[in-house]
Amino acid sequence: MNDLKGRRALITGAASGIGRATALLFADRGAAVAVVDLNADSGTAVAREIESLGGRACFFCCDVARDADCRRAIEATMDKLGGLDILLNNAGIIRRATVPETAEEEWDRVMAVNVKSVFLLSRRAIPLMIEGGGGVILNISSGWGLVGGRKAAAYCASKGAVVQLTKAMALDHAAQNIRVNCICPGDTDTPMLRNEAHQLGESEKAFLAEAARRPLGRVGRPEDIAQAALYLAGEASSFVTGTILVVDGGGLAG
């Protein structure tokens, strides 16, 4: 039920962390993968790693906050892979700050990368999916898209918007056989999580130890989130749309 053979997937933020883990897993399950990221060196390395393991992949450099870049990424994916069945909007950034501490340009960049990118890529992908008979859109939000978090005002606002955008698109396009779902990870050991420690002036060790204070007693691994994405991308979830899947080791359970 989680076989992705013959499927074509575009994954943003795929050069590292959750995006990289998901690109590798999707390729392992048979999907051709368009690796999309602003980091050309790391993104190219991921595509080459997939190919070295017998998979099919290509890399496209893209600033997901720019419509022209998103258009080129979609067009290049269609050209190289011959279609688009799965869109994973994973790219994201965080600014650890309260509202008064957040500069306007920082607010705008967080909202552009985390929310506007979902809109830009989805509005170009959806017509292609309709022509192809359907598809899957997966959006990566956060536990902080469901509950508030301290010193992360712009991030929380952006991830809450992703949750609601997911539900709206799911309602709008269910009749066209396009399923739209959202994953809300808890703290996951990625470069972005470790960067949060530096933004807050804390040691990575102490920051990760605090992040592990949840019922399952550890932070998430990128592979944990990738497995959730695999479920939502495959036929095992054929009756699932508009859902918000929390993958956080029980952090929001109580």
Q: Which residues are catalytic?
A: 155
* C-alpha span between 71 and 69 (Å, rounded): 5
Among 134, 142, 191, 137, smallest CA distance to 167 is for 137
Residue 48 tokens read as 């080459």
Residue 184's DSSP bridge partners are 246
Residue 104 tokens read as 């306007």
Under 8 Å between Cβ of 8 and 85: yes
Report the alpha-carbon angle 7-12-14, nearest 5: 90
Under 8 Å between Cβ of 33 and 9: yes
Which helix (H) or strand (E) segment is 18 a member of?
helix 17-28
Give me the residue label for tokens 């859902």.
243
* C-alpha span between 60 and 54 (Å, rounded): 19
* C-alpha span between 102 and 118 (Å, rounded): 22
- The dihedral formed by the CA atoms of 204, 206, 210 and 211, expressed in degrees to the nearest 10: 10
